[in-house]
Amino acid sequence: MSGRRARSARGWYIRATALLAAWTLLAAAPAQVRTPDERRATNARQGSATGWVRRAVDALYSGDADEALRIATTELAHDPRDVRAMVVAARARLARGEPVDAYDLLTRALSIDARNADVLYFLGIVSSDLATKELDRLQAIAPDSPRVHQLLGRSLKLQDKRADAVVEYELALKGDPTLVQAMLELADIYREEAHCTEAAALYRRAGEVKATYDGSYGLGVCLAALGDHAAAVEEFRDALTRDESSAVAYFGLGSSLLQLKDAAGAVAALSRAVALEPRMRQAYYLLGRAYASTGQTERSRAALARAVELAKAERADDEAAFTKTPPRRVPQLPQERR
Amino acid sequence: MIAPRLMPCMVAAATIALTQAVPPTRQVPSAPPGAAKGVTYEDVTRSSGVSRFTHVSGTAEKNYIIEATGSGVALWDFNGDGRLDLYLVNGSTLERLRRGEDAPSAALFRNNGDGTFTDVTKETGVANGRWGQGVCAGDFNNDGFEDLYVTNFGANRLYRSDRGERFTDVAVAAGVANDSWSTGCAFGDYDGDGWLDLFVAGYVSLDLKSLPPAPGGDGRAGAQAAPAAAGDSGGQRMGAAYAPGAAVCTYRSERVMCGPRGLKGAPDRLYRNNRDGTFTDVSRDAGVADRDGLYGFGVAWFDMDDDGRLDLFVANDSGPNYLYRNLGNGRFDDVSYPSGAALDAQGREQAHMGVAVGDYDNDTRLDLHVTNFANDFNVLYHNDDGRSFTDVSVSAGLTLPSMPFLGWGTDFLDYDNDGWLDLLVVNGHVYPLADRVAWNTSYAQRALLFRNLGGRRFEDIGAAAGEALTTARVSRGSAVGDIDNDGGIDIAISNLDDRPTLARNVGGAASGHWLTLTLRGDPDRKCPRDAIGSAVFLTAGGIVRRGEVASGRGQVSQSDLRVHFGLGRETTVSKLEVRWANGPRVIYPIDRVDTFVTIDQATGHVQYGGTR
């Protein structure tokens, strides 16, 4: 393991522990909404709605994970579907160095309450912990494998540890300068961090080894961000030859054509984008702008109205998320491919 | 096309950039060759005496959004002596609010004319004593003295000037107290009757008894009340979204304060001046009542289509901007989306903060610059034809330099008097956590001063701006104006939980010729006394430059009401035309430069010299 990775792993453990401690007070709050009957039943059983949670958390605080696990297990015996008890038990398992058991508990909890923040949060921690452990084991087997460095980079990127991810990708490319996927993933990081010139160079280098949709699309986005829309159009078109069902590539194409004052071309591309992805409000917005440029006022008005409608629905979804209905999100642009 | 041999170097540079300890928001690039020679900013905060003021805004942890928005600043001549005075809005703490205590005092510093200021807050009666947000100036009663409106988390203040000596808060009697959470404000005569009306942006409807959860899980208020649920903005370009009942809000997987997205927006208000010291809320009738419940920040009245009527722009945090076109019948048409000024070039909603208005390319139309969250760029909207705006941020060179910064105050100013409006952006993150995680940014951030390269591109002048601007601070409001009346444009900045910054322009007056105008409107001709809403078109060297008398703008702040023009090498003004608010265009003879000129609409008199 590289020194930086080792530091990162230690940092992760420390951070996870700190977050664990910070989370304890929140866990004292009701972890899920119950019916009044359920709440009354629970209260009658324990004397107070949160008494056992406090005792368990106190035990965790004092380093007595066994006691915390015992309390949570007792609760689960009373109510096998008690998500709070599962979370506390998972935390205790984690503290005892049993991440796999913690993972099992949390996935079970998630199947009961798919939007529980505590569950999702600790599942994230446990998953990262497990991933790190597995990757460390993999690296021990193949310490200089570029592919392992790439996988480590991907894992770190998913944890939003971009600086560490960059180091791993660089190590991967040092070992194998033709590792296309590492180049593309590193380029994606640069692009998302606004280092578009560098990202573009990497996309090009990847394209020289092997032309891919991801490379062409990423390069198109970067070139557009750098203001070279003519070159961006070429890349988006190339991306579409590799995947003609990509709504975001049509969106990128339409956007760049609009910048180049080719409103008719933009209308065609953006119409295709919204046909493929009817909830892409950004495409409707640009389509409205493109129609306006071609003097098609009514169509412009309709497209803009649709963009406004989708934006409002998205805001409403955000507010309803985790409480009412499942969120209906339009794709994130331009990073994600559809 | 990138030369292949350079590619490894560039990638290495990017690797260094992403893995280095010092984020770009704290680094000061060396001065580029294009920076104006000999022009910089000197930090005169201490020597001027304004460092006695310290802004207060909640706790250092910033557990709640009210603690992070900061306050505005005004450069405005309250006593009519021809010198810009300084008003600094102050915040407060939740503890003070809960105990029912007054907020820490705002501060009014009188300009002594010798580089120093005297605190006259008590004797003038403008302490505010509430959790202050924004400020704007305007002579709402046309008595010849500038009044002040201060927005608050809580009821706002309308400080009526009593002959420039004292102020009386008449907000309740005038009907403009608006006990909510107000941010940006601006006076402007939208109905053309010669009396200033008032627009006030609403931010969030925040109930102190039911606060969203704090990142620290401190067990108080909302944290205990909230059932477990989570909201994640899902992106890095806006603050952490809140879902009703959420127990946690996250940004880039870290727990942070919630909002504004997901919180209930506070409505915007338009108050029509009744010409008797009172106002009427006409927001709904006029069609500017914030129908989508968005989070308003920066506000600007400006005549986008030069039809002689003031249109209205509202920068909304975490949502599309509003642009309302004045129909002239007391109503506005919402042209936000069709105009192109609601979203960026990709159709994305952004977390808009402050707004600057100015004609950066000298085509006589007013353009807009809007600041945004970190991991996003500030947007420059070019006014194409009075109806349509184009996001030209990329071609103007403003996207990549602004990405790591979280921008707030922004102002167009000609810092080197070369005749092209430059651009100031003051910055600072909302999450103190930014210093403890690898986000490639920081909590305190340096200001950005972009030099205008001939109306097409802007260039960050880096170290040439001077330590007053390159020192990293958690800045919010900014205002520009000629504080020392030397012909160079100075800068005042409000910093969160910190002393303000007073940055004196050094060398600007010598770098290029200039002319500064004070306009005196004639209410009998339907122009407000302080001429707010009037536009000036100055022709020199074959180029027409445009300036305006404007209230509010920036990030909830007030800049100099005088109209300043940099003239570069031009020593002759071939034409000076004033389009008085609600009145005709009138040409006035100007026979000298590097001076102050006062033009009186009623008498037609042009007075040189002095400072007003």
How far apart, in whole angstroms, are the C-alpha atoms of residue A141 and residue A89? Answer: 33
Is the CB of B255 inside 8 Å of chain A's CB atoms? yes
pLDDT tens-place string over residues A85-97? 999 999 899 888 8
Is the Cβ pair A190, B245 closer than 8 Å? no
Is the CB of A250 inside 8 Å of chain B's CB atoms? no
Is the Cβ pair A117, B235 closer than 8 Å? no
Q: Which residues of chain A does B235 touch, with a Cβ-Cβ cutoff of 8 Å?
A: 332
C-beta separation of B198 from B140 below 8 A? yes
pLDDT at B216: 64
pLDDT at B610: 67
pLDDT at A277 over 50: yes
Q: What angle do CA B152, B311, B420 make, to 5 degrees?
A: 95
Q: What does the mean pLDDT of chain A come to? A: 81
Q: Which residues are registered as beta bridge partners of B480? A: B491
pLDDT at B193: 98
**Strand ranges (E), B364-462:** 367-370, 379-383, 389-391, 407-413, 422-427, 448-453, 457-460
> Which candidate in A127, A185, A193, A286 is best for mutational testing of the B interface (most B CBs within 10 A)?
A193
pLDDT tens-place string over residues A221-248? 999 999 999 999 999 999 999 999 999 9
pLDDT at A20 over 80: no
Alpha helix ranges (H) inside B108-265: 121-124, 171-174, 221-225
pLDDT-wise least confident of B40-44, B105-109, B224-228, B450-454: B224-228
Instruction: Look at chain A and count its residues.
Output: 338
Mean pLDDT of all residues in A262-273: 98
- Which SS3 state, helix, strand or coil, does residue B2 take? coil
Is the CB of A221 inside 8 Å of chain B's CB atoms? no
Is the Cβ pair B231, A322 closer than 8 Å? yes
Place of tokens 């609601």: B342
pLDDT-wise least confident of A26-35, B404-413, B480-489: A26-35
Is the CB of A318 inside 8 Å of chain B's CB atoms? yes
Mean pLDDT of all residues in B543-572: 97
pLDDT at A329: 34
* pLDDT tier, A318 (very low <50, low <70, confident <90, very high otherwise): low
Question: Beta strand B248-251 with B230-232: parallel, antiparallel or unpaired?
Answer: parallel
- Which SS3 state, helix, strand or coil, does residue B44 take? coil
pLDDT at A162: 85
- Closest by CA to B391, choosing from B340, B457, B318, is B340
* pLDDT tier, B213 (very low <50, low <70, confident <90, very high otherwise): confident
Alpha helix ranges (H) inside chain A: 3-27, 36-46, 51-61, 65-78, 83-95, 99-112, 117-141, 146-158, 162-175, 180-192, 196-209, 213-225, 229-242, 247-259, 263-276, 281-293, 297-320
CA torsion angle B279 B176 B554 B264 (round to 10): -120
Q: Which residues of chain A does B394 touch, with a Cβ-Cβ cutoff of 8 Å?
A: 224-227
Q: By CA distance, what is B263's nearest residue in A?
A: A319
- Closest by CA to B387, choosing from B366, B358, B370, is B366
Q: Which residues of chain B does A156 touch, with a Cβ-Cβ cutoff of 8 Å?
A: none
pLDDT at B486 over 80: yes
Question: Beta strand B513-520 with B595-600: parallel, antiparallel or unpaired?
Answer: parallel
- Closest by CA to A199, choosing from A229, A214, A219, is A219
pLDDT at B184 over 50: yes
CB atoms closer than 10 angstroms to residue B235: 17
Question: What is each CA distance from B536 to B84, B137, B481, in whole angstroms?
Answer: 21, 20, 17
Q: By CA distance, what is A299's nearest residue in B?
A: B338
pLDDT at B4: 44
pLDDT at A2: 44
Q: What's the token pair of residue B70?
A: 């900061």
- pTM score, whole prediction: 0.84
pLDDT-wise least confident of A66-80, B16-30, B137-151: B16-30
Q: Is B395 left (phi over 0), alpha (psi -120 to 50) or beta?
A: alpha
pLDDT at B245: 62
Mean pLDDT of all residues in B232-240: 66
Is the Cβ pair B228, A31 closer than 8 Å? yes
pLDDT at B253: 77
Q: Which residues of chain A does B229 touch, with a Cβ-Cβ cutoff of 8 Å?
A: 115-117, 322-323
pLDDT at B17: 56
Mean pLDDT of all residues in B383-403: 95
- Among A141-155, A189-203, B483-497, the range of highest mean pLDDT: B483-497
Mean pLDDT of all residues in B221-229: 31
Q: Which residues of chain B does A292 touch, with a Cβ-Cβ cutoff of 8 Å?
A: 338, 388
pLDDT at B130: 98
- For chain A positions 28-57, those within 8 Å of chain B (CB to CB) are 28-33
How far apart, in whole angstroms, are the C-alpha atoms of residue B478 and residue B494? Answer: 6
pLDDT at B14: 56
Chain-centroid distance, C-alpha A135: 19
Q: By CA distance, what is A12's nearest residue in B?
A: B437
Q: Which residues of chain B does A19 touch, with a Cβ-Cβ cutoff of 8 Å?
A: 255
pLDDT-wise least confident of A191-195, B158-162, B564-568: A191-195
pLDDT at B49 over 70: yes
C-beta separation of B147 from B137 below 8 A? yes
First to last CA, chain B: 53
Q: Which of A163, A226, A289 sits opposite B340 (nearest CB)?
A: A289
Place of tokens 């998972």: A90
Q: Which residues of chain A does B400 touch, with a Cβ-Cβ cutoff of 8 Å?
A: 194, 196, 225
Q: Which of B227, B230, B241 sits opposite A33 (nearest CB)?
A: B227
- For chain A positions 96-135, those within 8 Å of chain B (CB to CB) are 115-118, 120-121, 124
> Which candidate in B11, B16, B375, B441 is best for mutational testing of the A interface (most A CBs within 10 A)?
B11
* pLDDT tier, B227 (very low <50, low <70, confident <90, very high otherwise): very low
* pLDDT tier, B439 (very low <50, low <70, confident <90, very high otherwise): confident
pLDDT at B250: 84
Q: Which of B243, B253, B337 sits opposite A308 (nearest CB)?
A: B337
Question: What is each CA distance from B320 to A171, A282, B372, B403, in whole angstroms?
Answer: 42, 12, 12, 19
pLDDT tens-place string over residues B82-100? 999 999 999 999 999 999 9
Is the Cβ pair A29, B226 closer than 8 Å? yes
pLDDT at B445: 98
Q: What does the mean pLDDT of chain B come to? A: 92
Q: What percent of chain A has pLDDT over 90?
A: 55
Is the Cβ pair B247, A292 closer than 8 Å? no
Q: What is the ipTM of this complex?
A: 0.88
pLDDT at A35 over 50: no
- Which SS3 state, helix, strand or coil, does residue B67 take? helix
- Closest by CA to B480, choosing from B54, B48, B86, is B86
Fold of A13-28+56-129: 1.25.40
- Which SS3 state, helix, strand or coil, does residue B456 take? coil
pLDDT at A8 over 80: no
Q: Which residues of chain A does B348 touch, with a Cβ-Cβ cutoff of 8 Å?
A: 282, 333
* pLDDT tier, B20 (very low <50, low <70, confident <90, very high otherwise): low
pLDDT at A6 over 60: no
pLDDT-wise least confident of A120-129, B156-165, B187-196, B411-420: A120-129
* pLDDT tier, B128 (very low <50, low <70, confident <90, very high otherwise): very high
